[in-house]
A and B are shown apart, each in its own frame.
Chain A
């Protein structure tokens, strides 16, 4: 019998693309020429071992092809690249299969979401998952659709939540063994969040974990009265998986109502938590709550980055997490134990973290009717934008907003199905400053920066500052390059060791996704979306 990995290698060598087996998804390091999952691997490090593009030749990068999305919505999707084929979503929910070498289109699957869809913050989609010959996409009207990767035709289409009540899906699903795992958005509409696993062949639900504990479930007591009913706890960014622990890790969003916590006294579990679930059953193994009783909309929806390595001299299975609340955390992912936490940007809502990692709340940091100034502002010190970890440098790279704050005005919160349930309005203290194509933003209202954190010391090793803020993900490579962008539309290659700018390209629109790299016919490519187009670069030949 031929071992599967060898069989795959043989098939690839023979030019016959193999199906994307779970084995392949589990070992992305064996095929760095591809980008098979949203975060580039189940550990979600967004680190590639490709190293043809190096600091000393990166200046020869030039554009190879551009794909213009037929959509004016924000382009947040990370593409997949499978054996020369790129699979991309264009917002809100079209899927495109392209020749990753030329940008030529094989097929387009056009899905029109129902008019009931009401995604809180943009009709966006962040990407796909693939297993076998099937792609999986969540939609803004809260459907999960299986699509034939070769024909571009739907195989099944199931309802995950009620779009009229505010449920939507914007994230890329996660494949774990024989399951498709997906979470929902909608805390701004007072949904009751969950993560659920589905059979990839049938779409049948296999398990579901309620991120807002229902009556009788542990944690229900952390919600006063009936406040749990519309407790939010959305799960709108893709999680990670550790096969050695058979554990799925996911971030949970804010409690509802966002900025008026009067009716929900208590810690409001599992809002703003990292949660660890048994991959086979969905049962909770542990949780770690970053922001108990959140009044600031500090979703813990960042991608959990898993790292095996030494932490302060001892081998550890770690989880690294730069949180929207402004703190960078290192957790032991076997048990959720807090190892380290420190701010990576200015924050005023907590005076620090105690020994267990629980924040010590600043007494005056609470929303009021007159408005309260709080750092970081509502978009957070970071947000859903993917960070990266490089095993070579040992640094954790964060797309961050520095010195950024908000004036948080509390307002009454009354739940009406399908209407926003936020209980306030965060406003910039300098409201007319513009960002984007026209930028009159000034340092007095914050700036963007890529921050390189040393997880062992919590210190900032370096930072690369930008005038405007950044919503771009980060890619690191084995040649010690950091690829990233920002709102200004510059696409950067930075030196991963010290943050020196090695190269930049002005792409003319905000970068709001995570760049990827792949290789075809021995040539390394880097792909990044800016504005409403995907740009692909390779070195001059």
Chain B
């Protein structure tokens, strides 16, 4: 199995990423929009359109098949106004939410399948990759890193690949780690779960839920780096495709 040099792979991924954007002619989609859109989809669209977007006859989001819309503007309008005479109701939501929903629906078409083998991908994920040391999937693995049980429903293939190859570039602010030092000098590190003006909550590296009053801390630092290693030199191109394909199958408990 030939290993692809990281710079070449990055160039390839960049090309894939850019092509994906150009292909749908919507430069304003962001992976983060897709994630927000997936949550909105579950709340607003899931009941009728189904988990795979193909429950309404004649409409299949994965296949990019629509009855009445073609452009994003059509879709935005249809979400806002509904389709008179059908079960599709007007959905009151703000403009950025509608845009996120469109981004997600478009991404369902873009990221429907991976090119690898999901079974091999799972074996690599749990074995050679050692991913469960930090991540959790359907109740198995560590809770310290982000849970990936529904990553296939909220991320595109390109984004998942980029997260594996260059995690430092794609770590989301919501997954940042925090390092606190108590007034007694004790150091605790963990993933930040919540924060307000006076307190901070985290899950520490022993998977314990911890809450601190900031007035009782010597320092607290939000870390902008990630402890996750890049896998560009650990997985071959084929292995990477297998892992991505496996992760794309993870759609949560729904």
Contacts and interface: CB of A to CB of B under 8 A. Distances in A.
A412 B73 contact: yes
A442 B172 CA distance: 12
Given A419-B77, A427-B96, A442-B222, A370 B27 contact: yes
A427 B81 contact: no
A434 B174 CA distance: 8
B252 interface: no
Nearest to B73: A412
Given A370-B27, A432-B174, A438 B193 contact: yes
A440 interface: yes
Nearest to B93: A420
A425 B96 contact: yes
B95 A431 contact: no
A6 to B, nearest CB: 48
B226 to A, nearest CB: 15
Interface string B5-47: 0000000000000000000000110101101100000000000
Which DSSP category, helix, strand, loop or mixed, fits chain A's interface?
loop
A427 B99 contact: yes
A324 to B, nearest CB: 17
Interface string A352-393: 000000000000000001110000000000000000000000
Contact of A488 (B30, B81, B196): B196
Given A412-B73, A467-B197, A468-B197, A426 B96 contact: yes
A190 B204 CA distance: 50
Contact of B195 (A428, A439, A444): A439
Interface string B140-179: 0000000000000000000000000000000011101000
Contacts of A468: 196-197
B131 interface: no
Contacts of B138: none
A41 interface: no
B64 to A, nearest CB: 21
B135 interface: no
A419 B36 contact: no
A121 interface: yes
B119 interface: no
Contacts of A370: 27-28
Given A409-B28, A422-B95, A432-B173, A440 B192 contact: yes
A432 B172 contact: yes
A440 B194 CA distance: 6
Contacts of B77: 416, 419
Interface string A379-422: 00000000000000000000000000000010110001011101
A118 B82 CA distance: 14
Contacts of A431: 30, 32-33, 35-36, 100
B92 interface: yes
Contacts of A465: 197
Contact of A371 (B28, B76, B195, B222): B28
A490 B28 contact: no
A482 to B, nearest CB: 15
A465 B214 CA distance: 14
A451 to B, nearest CB: 15
B203 to A, nearest CB: 13
Nearest to B76: A411
Contacts of B92: 118
A466 B27 contact: no
A433 B176 CA distance: 11
A420 B95 CA distance: 9
A370 B30 CA distance: 12
A430 interface: yes
B196 A433 contact: no
User: In this complex, which of A422, A424, A431 has the most chain B Cβ atoms within 10 angstroms of its Cβ?
Assistant: A431
Interface in A477-524: 486, 488, 490, 504
Contacts of B222: 442
B73 A411 contact: yes
Nearest to B81: A419
Given A121-B94, A426-B96, A433 B173 contact: yes
A439 B197 CA distance: 10
A434 B98 CA distance: 17
A118 B195 CA distance: 34
Contacts of A369: 27-28
Contacts of B99: 409, 425, 427
Interface string B75-96: 0110011000000000010111
User: In this complex, which of B32, B35, B96, B192 has the most chain A Cβ atoms within 10 angstroms of its Cβ?
Assistant: B96
Nearest to A121: B94
Contacts of B197: 465-468, 486, 488, 490
Nearest to A428: B96
Contacts of B193: 438
Nearest to A406: B96
Interface in A255-308: none
Contacts of B96: 425-428
User: In this complex, which of B28, B77, B81 has the most chain A Cβ atoms within 10 angstroms of its Cβ?
Assistant: B28
A226 B196 CA distance: 48
B186 interface: no
B198 interface: yes
B207 to A, nearest CB: 19
B173 A442 contact: yes
Contacts of B172: 432
Given A411-B73, A427-B99, A432 B194 contact: no
Contacts of B95: 420, 422, 424-426
A465 B196 CA distance: 11
Contacts of B196: 439, 466-468, 488, 490
6 shortest A-B CB distances, which residue pairs?
A431-B32, A440-B174, A425-B95, A488-B196, A467-B197, A432-B32
6 contacts: A426-B96, A438-B193, A441-B195, A467-B196, A486-B197, A490-B197
Given A118-B92, A420-B95, A425-B98, 14 more contacts: A369-B28, A416-B77, A416-B81, A418-B81, A425-B99, A426-B96, A427-B96, A430-B32, A431-B100, A432-B174, A440-B173, A488-B196, A490-B196, A490-B198
Interface of B: 27-28, 30, 32-33, 35-36, 73, 76-77, 80-81, 92, 94-96, 98-100, 172-174, 176, 192-198, 222
